[in-house]
Each structure stands twice: as C-alpha cells, then as structure tokens.
Structure 1
Amino acid sequence: MVSRLVVLGMAVPVLLAGTLAANAEDRGHRIDHIVVIYEENHSFDNLFGGWERVDGLRGAHPRQQVAPDGTALPCLPQNDVNLTSPPLPATCTGGTISSAFANKPFRIDDYIAPADKTCPAPGQFLPNGVPKGQGLPGGCTRDLVHRYYHEQYQIDGGRMDRYVAGSDAVGLTMGTYDTRGLPIYEYLHGKHAPNYAIADRFFQAAFGGSFLNHQWLITPNTPTWPGAVRDGSANDLHSVVGPDGYPGSSPLHPAAPGTADRALTQAANPDGTCVVPAGVAAPPKGTTCGDFAVNTVQPPYQPFAPGTAVTRQLPPQTTPTIGDRLSAAKVDWAWYSGGWDNANGNVGGPGWTNGTTPGTCTSPRTATGAVYPNCPDATFQYHHQPFNYFANYAPGTAARAAHLRDEVEFISAAKSGHLKPVSLIKPVGEENEHPGYASEDTGSRHLVDLLKAIEEGPDAAHTMVVVTYDEFGGQWDHVAPPSRRGVSDKWGPGTRIPALVISPLLPQRFSVDHTPHDTTSIMATIEHQFHLKPLGTRDAAVRDLFTTFRRW
C-alpha cells in the first residue's frame, strides 16, 4: 500500500509496511521527537464520545446500569450538589430513587456549564462539589472514585453496567461532555490545525487510578512493597475484598463485613492464595493478592504530601523504566511536571515562584504544611510523579537532576526548537482536567497552549505528539476492554480513554485508528523508534502508535 505524506512541504511516496518493526523503522528517520502529554481522569465516551467517525455515543447501545443485585436501576441517583433534586426537578422516580436523570448517559454541560462558578479554591476539598455561584469559574463537578478493585467491579466482566453501583458519585459516572465544545476539539478543527488521528480503541494500561497508571506509563510492572505490614494495624495497607469483588462501600453498595479499600492488594499466603481474615468472606476466584501497590501511596522521596509518615511511603522501586532504557541508549529525555521546581525545592529554578526570601514559601498557592524549600502548589499531585518512586532518581542523583524538570522548561524548549528526543509532560493539578479539583475547560485550554508551543515551534515538522489520559476517572464507557481476546493480564487493561496522535507526518488531515492499544503502547512506540529492548511482556506484545500513520 502506498500513501503520501508531507515532509517539509514536499509530497513524497511512502511504503507503509505491514509489520510493527517495519512501520516503526519507516517512520523513525522522519520523527526526531516524541512528546507525550499525560492528562487526567476521563473515559473516552465521557470526553470524546461526540467526535465524528469514532465509536462513540452516537452508535452506542449501552446496557442499563444495574444495582448490586443485578436489577436495572429505575433512574440515576445523584449526589453532586448541582445535580441533586432539588435544585433540579425530580422527573424520574422509582423505588427509593427520585432524580432528574433517567438510566442513560446525559450531558454534563446541560446542567453545569464551563463558566459556572462551581470550582473549589486551590487545596479546598468538598466531597460533593461546590454549589453554583459559591466557587471559582470553570464548571467543575465533584470527583469520582477510581480505584483498582472498584473498576474491575464496575466493568463487570465486560458488561460495563456497574459504574453507578460501584461509585461514590453514583449517577455522575454516566455524565458526558459536549465534545464539540471542548477547546481541544475547536483547536483541531481550526483553519491551521495540525494533522491528527484519534485512537478510539485505547485503554488505560492498569485497572484503577492515577498512581498505578502513571507507573504503567513508564514501566509495565506494578510496584511492590516487600515485607509490607500485614498485622491488621493502622500501618497495614492491604485491602480486603468482599465476596463480589468490591472492597468498600458506595451509596448503592453497603460494605461487606471486614472489607477495606487501601493502597495495597489483599495480602497473600506463601502459595499465592489470598489471606482471608477471620469472619470475612473470601474474595472471588482470580482476585489479585500480594504486596502490590495499586492505589494512591506517597513516594519515598520529597516531594510527598506534607506530614506523610515513613510508614505510609512506598519503598524505592528498582525495576527498569523507559527512562533507564533511553539513558542506556544515550537518548536524551525528560519528565516535565507543572510545579516541579516549587515542589522539589529547586530554589531559583526556571519554575520557582517563591522569590528570594530564604526559608519561606512566599507563593500564596503553597500547599498547607509545606516546609521550605519544598513549596508545592496546593494542587500539585505527588502520586503523579512516577520517577520519584524509583531509586535511580533519588534526590542527589545525576539522573534526577538531568531528567526530572519543570514544565516551563518544556515550553521554552518547544518554542526555541530545543526539544529532547523524548519529552513526557505532566500539567499541574489545576491544569490537568481532573474532576473535583480542576476545570475541564481550563485544562483543555492548557492542553491547546502546550500543543501550540510545539506546533508553532521549529521542531514541529519532525515531532510526534501523543495526548492521552492516565485513566477513566470513575466514568463509564460503553466499549469493554480486551481480556482473553486481546493483550491483557491480571493488571488490565481497564476502561477506554481518549488518545490523540498529532504530527504533520500523518498522511491525513484527520483519521480514526481502530487498532487496539493501551498505555503501554506509548512505551512500545518509544522502544520501536529508538530500537530499545522491551521492558516486559505487555509492551512487547501491544501494537505501537505508528498504526496511526496508516492511511485509513
């Protein structure tokens, strides 16, 4: 098959090879830079379900969401303060549920607009959201639970029908955004927009939340806590899973006796079977158990949440990462994080905003309890910094100084034509689109700003940008993740998430790639581009993102 791409303004024929290796090699001499922008917490249907030509909401025929007993819910209960009844009129009633929402997807923008003042102040937490007019503008909703065992319960073996039953935010899981009103949609449909592809079969690598999926962005291995306490004390961080696979409670799912939802998987016996505490029902067959860190846990090094006890910090990890592979091959790279200089105590660094007063965090946005020189922003997310969990990047190492940098340095490099071969970008909390503490509209506008810095910079002609989200954020999607029929293991993949590939080297103005991918496809793309050995079985088996360069 022959296609044509535009390279420096000239149309040239390109043979599109049929194998992954040939495809990667074919593109490799044209792509000099890979940029990954890692956003937060949205399922594909939630954010991109209204994009043209994708497998989205238009053709979806979702099963109705069910109660824990398997019966269909008559309506969607709500507990976001702006979606409850009142203030909304109750137009759907059934059993004990009285709501403005039938049991089907609904559009969030119809009730909470992007300009509505429903966002919390930096560092403020209100579990059910901010009433309209009492917060900052941005159209924020409440947050939704997104954790390892919870998501497996919600997926329900591919039926995708227990998102409401397994969520602390109940009916909000079925909310979607007006895709065509998103700043990223408007930008990519603008007059001078770059070529782009949507991968509409892209799944989060691991079940659960941000911590684990940031780990799986850089290594296809789940972190471990060797010798983790397992005595039932306050320092025992093992979960205890109920007989239906659910570890905690939700408004629709009472907690089973003895269950607990913590940072680690359920403890395991020496033979690998799950430890079942006395008086507690055994978890379902196939439940993952052991000393694995699957939910949010703080890193071993600063920056970590102020006041975190040593007993709550994950021991340094030693498995190899994509950063290690790149460095060994002498390929330069960096993890650029919004707010890193402040959080890491890089006094006077490019992203430092605390002035020159010794011993004082002068920024009014500093997190409560911060101790100089570590002056993190109130919305800085410590568990979004995956390399900070690894011994190779401990404070004082040359690798940390060289590769863990502030986002402002990336923007400068993009604008000046000094992009590294591999750049991984993590916006600070209020700009990362995370429900609860961030505005979707604000985060999408920041994403557009990052893309403009790249596309208007000198390196754009030979740059491949990957935009994706760490995980589903607790939100429903109608496409079941691959299991026995796809590349999968006990860790995932989980729910489908949005993914874009942007490059002038793409053969079409816009295309939709239906190839199955997951987050480890990003690792595979980097490995194939720079001829690196795979880190594990998942990145060795998945399709890379060079599939988007085919002519669809």
Structure 2
Amino acid sequence: MRSWTVLRGAVVATALPALLASAGTAVAHPDHGGHGRGIDHIVVIYEENHSFDNLFGGWEGVDGLRRARPQTQVAPDGQALPCLPQNDVNLTSPPLPVTCTGTIGTTPVSSAFANRPFEIDRYIRPADTTCPAPGVFLPNGVPKGQGLPGGCTRDLVHRFYNEQYQIHGGAMDRYVAGSDAVGLTMGHYDTRGLPIYEYLHGRHAPDYVVADHFFQGAFGGSFLNHQWLITPNTPVWPGAVRDGGADDLHSIVGPDGFPAGTPLHPATPGTADRALTQAATAGGGCAVPANVGAPPAGTVCGDYAVNTIQPPYQPYQPGTPVSRRLPPQTTPTIGDRLSAAKVDWAWYSGGWDNANGNVGGPGWTNGTTPGTCTSPRTATGAVYPNCPDATFQYHHQPFNYYADLAPGTAARAAHLRDEAEFVSAAKTGHLKPVSFVKPVGEENEHPGYASEDAGSRHLVDLIKAVENGPDAEHTLIVVTYDEFGGQWDHVAPPAGRHAVADQWGPGTRIPALLISPQLRRPFGVDHTSHDTTSIMATIEHRFHLAPLGTRDARVADLLAFCG
C-alpha cells in the first residue's frame, strides 16, 4: 500500500495500490486511474553518492536518524567495534583529540569517534579548504588549509559485491568493516543546513514530497545504477576473456562474499574486485579458482558488467584500450520505448559538448582554435575534439553504452545533449516530455572530488530553472541519487518473498524528492517502498509504455501523489 504523511499536521492518508502488469512488451501499461494526467514533463535530476541517512536523515517526518534503532558496527569476526577508526586526514587523531580507545582483534585503536553515527559538519564545515583541485585524487582527502573551499571529505568504496557484504543480509552492521574509509561511512550531514533543505523551506518554495523508502536499484556503484535508471537489465560482455590475464575483468569473490581488502578486512588471497562478476561454469554456477574457496550461495556469476567500466564510444577515459571497454549493448532502454511512442526525450549531461567533441555547442568552452583543447580544466590525455572536463565522469553516461546511440547516429544527436541546453529549455518553456539531467562531477555532490554544499546549491539552481520557467505548472521533478556512496543507512533494503527485489538489488536507501505543483499536498513524506526503477515505471505509466522488465513492471511508481 501507498502512504504519506502531511508535514503540517499529523494527517495520514492512503491511496490505492499500484496496478501491476506483466513484463511483456506487446501492450502498454494501464493509466493507473488517471494519476499524473496533469504532468506533461518529467525531469529526473540524478545526483551522486549519498545514503538517505547521510543527507536527509534529519528531515522532519521521515524515517530518519531519530528513529534509527541502535546498529553497532562489527568487525569481520562479528565482534562489536570499540570505536570508529578513521583515515580521512581531517578526522584522524591527531588532528582530533582521542576520546575513545580499544582493540579490534589484537590491533589497538584510538579515535575521536565512538561506535555510532556522527555529524560530519562538526569536523569538516562547508567553507573548509579540503577539496582537491579538479582532476586531482588524494585517497584520504585534503588536509584543511591545503585545498580548495567546499568541505570535501575523502571518497568511500561503493561496489557490487562490497555493498552486499556491508548490508549483511539486512543487519546493516558491516559498513565500516567493508569500507576503505572505515568510520567515515557512519558520518552524516546536518540536513537542515543543506541548501536544498533551506530552499524547500524558504518563502515561495515549491510543493514537494520526500520519499523516505527509496532504494538504489542495484547493488554497488554509479556505473550499474546509471544503467538501472534506463533499463532493468544489467549489461553483459558476451564471451568476456577469462584467462586470468590483464584483460580478464572477472571478479573473484572470497568464501565470505568479499572480493577486496579494507583496513579492517585484509584481502583473502586470490580474490579480486574487478569490473565483471565472477566467471560462471558452463552449467551456470560460479567458477571457483583452485586457490580460493567457493563464494557464498546466491553469489551472482557470469559475464555481467557491475563495476565501473568504460563505454565503447567516445567519450571514454583517455587512453582506455578497446579490450577494456564494454562492447555496445543492445537491450531495450526507456529511451527506446519513448522514441517508439514518438515521445521526445533527452539525456542532458554537464560537460557533454566538451567531452563529445560538439565544437561550438551550447556547452563548448574550448574557443575556436582548431585542433586544441584550450580549456585549462581539460582532462589529462584528452585529444581534440574530445575535450572532457577533468571531473567529467564517463561511466555516468548510460546511453553512450548502447549501439542505437552510437556516434554518427541521428538518435545520438537528438537525445544526448549538454546540461546548458536543459537550463535554456527550462527557462524558455521548451522542456521535452522527459529530461534526464546529470551534473558534471564537480557539481554533483560526489564525496572525494565534489563539495556537498556546492553540489546542493547547483541542484537548487537546476530546480529553480524549472520552477521559474513557463513549464513549471505541469512538470514533475524527480531528484534522487545514483547510489549510497559507501555510506551507512539504518533501513534494510526490501528482501524476501513479497519484496520487489531480485539478484541485482535493491541496495541501500538513498535520498529522493518529488517537486511539482501537481502534488496533492504542498508538503509530505512518501513512505512507500520505491527503488530506482520506480522512475522508469513512472515514465512508462504516464506515457502508456510497456515495461522493460520484471522489476519496473512490479515496483510502485511515483504518480500516486500527483493529481
């Protein structure tokens, strides 16, 4: 059942459950009783790498940190951690004073953090100079006073098998043990200090709903969850190399389900955490190397691409050989469904014109000098006309992995566009029926190379472009994040016989907002269980499209709160 809470008062209402349909492709979805008829435009803004508790855990009315039951983080052996060890250079002791001591196994630990969630803003504030220069990577962050302003933390690991280990069957107690950033995974921001919170609580703020049980569609990181935004099918590399050589990209999972190494979980000899799932046998089971034990029952194996891998076409990471670029994919996407129904759409990406070599395009910043990437922000190794920004993320461009949008096609020119064009369309009343918006790395809130505060301000600017434009009255904005970014959340993902779930996910809970004048209440919290594929389902239901797979056919859409 669907439910929501109206924040001005204690009114609780219930709407009809979503109608379900088969995963067949011959018929379109029903209209769901007219939900969403006032919506002519759907705008999806896809931010980066935060769990729900990490950003929105302090929002009023939500299932947030105040409702979180105690979840003591444990070591790999199951023993409770005495303290949260830290390796972000601004959270270690020193420079912070030691307030907690103990041992993890036989190793002494001294920390400023007890084994519980903590507020990041108390230690790293938005104005602190802890952000790296564009394109610079420092594994444990930038010491205060040595970087750019923005209050950046270090990055945290967020990968397919890794996250399943951290979730620990719903116990949610191995986020620290499974993280290369250890205790940082328990950090959270002051929700009420976020620019998006301040905007939505200011004068003349738009109507909005917080979806507080919205989960990332697939386990792991950005690559796979961008794919699951546009299709409920995990990419495959048919006949991928599996000879143990340099081009064998298959992972090798240990007996406890962990393929990597972290400060609290040394790597099991013979394991490897790579772009593809563990190789499968001819019979479909997991191939087990002689020097490593069998992975746990239920481990996904085969030639599936689940962790970051470069696309077959430009733009891709400069210098990546074809042997390490995923072959073109051919499974249907939501773009295919929209195009077949003659519903216009576009993927708008920050920095796309530079990266794709659209010389003179609305987002082009390289001047008119032939053959030269003149922007000082250009990625190292770039070759004109492909002049990507140093923070452009190639694996955040999901449609660039598909054969029907290959370079030179009319579909690519029509549907893969620069974020600058989206802003112009929003301001002038030329929004397409469906718009996906992906900010460039420096502006998308990603820990490690982006400022949370600056990214949230950019998000507000994107929303304002729509809300102050001629199309606002009939537009639904969906704001969510691709995945958890390695950060803890207290709510276990849906699982079990009655859950809308499969071998791919859903994973950790992530922030989500609905913004529209068409919402039935000006402020509210949606407690319905959703995942990333709910966005696909919303588009399918609004535009009468057939589902792409079993997950989007079953999951609740986001239209029940619209008139």
Give the TM-score range, shorter chain: over 0.9
Deviation of 1:27 (Å): 3.2
Indicate if the aligned counterparts of 1:187 and 1:193 stay in contact, CA closer than 8 A.
yes
How far did residue 19 of structure 1 move?
A: 4.4
1:230 partnered with 2:242: yes
Matched with 1:48 is 56
3-state SS, counterpart of residue 65 of structure 2: coil
Partners in 2 of 1:331 and 1:263 — Cα distance? Answer: 34
Per-residue CA deviation, residues 69-102 of structure 1 (Å, 9 max, x unaligned), is 0000000000000000000001000011100000
- Quick one: which amino acid aligns to residue 264 of structure 2? L
In the alignment, which of 459, 469, 483 is matched to residue 447 of structure 1? 459
Q: 1:129 aligns with which of 121, 124, 141?
A: 141
- Tell me what 1:152 maps to: 164
Q: Is the 8 A contact 2:30 2:541 kept in 1?
A: no
Matched, 1:62 2:70: yes
- Give percent identity, aligned residues only: 81
CA contact under 8 A between 2:36 and 2:560: conserved in structure 1?
Answer: no
**CA distance 1:397–1:25, change in 2 (3 Å):** farther
TM-score of the pair, normalised by structure 2? 0.94
SS in 1 for 2:134: coil
Q: Residues of 2 paired with 1:159 and 1:534: CA distance? A: 32
Tell me the amino acid that sits aligned with residue 482 of structure 1. P
2:523 is matched with 510
5 Å matches for 1:232-381?
232-381=244-393
Matching residue's letter, 1:321: T
Alignment of 1:438-477 (within 5 A): 438-477=450-489
1:359-406 alpha-carbon deviations (Å, 9 max, x no partner): 000000000000000000000000000000000100000100000000
Residue by residue over 1:103-151, the C-alpha shift from the partner in whole angstroms, topping out at 9 and shown as x without a partner, is 0000000000000000000000000000001000000000000000000
The CA distance in 1 between the partners of 2:238 and 2:70, in whole Å, is 42
- Residue number in structure 1 paired with 2:549: 536
* Alpha-carbon distance between aligned partners in 1 of 2:347 and 2:492, rounded to the nearest angstrom: 31
C-alpha contact (below 8 Å) 1:147/1:209 kept by paired residues: yes
Does 2:180 correspond to 1:168? yes
Instruction: Please say if residues 357 and 384 of structure 2, whose CA atoms lie closer than 8 Å, have aligned partners that are also in contact.
Output: yes
Between the aligned partners of 1:442 and 1:278, the Cα distance in structure 2 is 49
Match of 2:44 in 1: 36
- Secondary structure (helix, strand or coil) at the match of 2:130 reads strand
> Match of 2:9?
none
Q: State the 1:408 CA deviation.
A: 0.3
Q: Distance in 2 between matches of 1:490 and 1:70?
A: 25
Letter in 2 for 1:413: A
Rounded to whole Å, the distance in 1 between the matches of 2:31 and 2:94 is 56
Residue in structure 2 matching 1:212, options 215, 224, 231: 224
Give the Cα separation in 2 of the matches to 1:241 and 1:410.
42
Letter in 2 for 1:66: V
Which residue number corresponds to residue 80 of structure 2? 72
Bigger mean CA deviation after superposition, 540-549 or 512-521: 540-549
Q: Distance in 2 between matches of 1:160 and 1:321?
A: 32
Are the counterparts in 1 of residues 18 and 556 from structure 2 also a CA contact under 8 Å?
no
- Per-residue displacement from partner, 1:506-541 (whole Å, max 9, x unpaired)? 121210010000000000000000000000000000
1:524 is aligned, of 537, 545, 550, to 537
- What amino acid sits opposite 2:69 in the alignment? H
CA distance in 1, matches of 2:31, 2:399: 30
The aligned amino acid for 1:539 is D
Q: Which runs of 5+ in 2 are unaligned?
A: 1-13, 20-28
CA distances 1:399-456 after superposition (whole Å, capped 9, x unpaired):
0000000000000000000000000000000000000000000000000000000000
Partners of 1:251 and 1:449 lie apart in 2 by 39
Which stretch shows the higher mean deviation, 271-280 or 331-340?
271-280
Map 1:381-530 → 2, pairs under 5 A: 381-484=393-496, 485-530=498-543
CA distance 1:188–1:73, change in 2 (3 Å)? same
Letter in 1 for 2:95: P
Q: Distance in 2 between matches of 1:548 and 1:164?
A: 37
Q: Deviations over 1:10-37 (max 9, x none)?
A: xxxxx97654477745233311000000
Shift of 1:63: 1.4
Letter in 2 for 1:309: P
Once residues 22 and 513 of structure 1 are traced to their aligned partners in structure 2, the CA distance between those partners, rounded to angstroms, is 22
Supply the distance in 2 between the matched residues of 1:332 and 1:441 (Cα, whole angstroms).
33
TM-aligned CA distance change 1:97 to 1:547, over 3 Å:
farther
Q: CA RMSD in A?
A: 1.1
* 1:547 positional shift: 2.9
Mark the CA change 1:268 to 1:19 in structure 2 (over 3 Å): closer, same or farther.
closer
Greater mean deviation of Cα atoms: 458-467 or 541-550: 541-550
How far apart in 1 are the matches of 2:454 and 2:70? 30
**Tell me, what secondary structure is at the counterpart of 1:154?**
helix
Letter in 2 for 1:170: V
AA at the equivalent of 1:342: N
Q: Could you tell me which of 81, 101, 107 is aligned with 2:113?
A: 101
SS at match of 2:561: helix
State the alpha-carbon separation in 2 of the partners of residues 171 and 447 from structure 1.
Answer: 28
Gapped regions of structure 1 (runs ≥ 5) = 1-14
Distance in 2, matches of 1:255 and 1:18, equals 45
Q: Compute the TM-score of the two structures, normalised by the length of structure 1.
A: 0.96
Contact conserved, 2:31 with 2:542, CA < 8 A, in 1? no
CA–CA distance in structure 1, aligned partners of residues 40 and 342 of structure 2: 14
Secondary structure (helix, strand or coil) at the match of 2:442 reads helix
Aligned-pair CA distance for 1:493: 0.2
> What are the Cα deviations for residues 252-296 of structure 1, in whole angstroms up to 9, with x where unaligned?
001111000000000000111111111111111111000000000
Residues 160 and 476 of structure 1 are in contact (CA less than 8 Å); yes or no, is this contact kept in structure 2?
yes
CA contact (8 A) 1:50 1:56 kept: yes
Question: Partner letter of residue 313 of structure 2?
Answer: Y
1:81 aligned partner: 89
Q: What amino acid maps onto 1:241 in structure 2?
A: V
Find the aligned partners of 2:507 and 2:18 in 1 and give their Cα distance: 26
In structure 1, how many angstroms separate the alpha carbons of the residues matched to 2:15 and 2:292?
A: 57
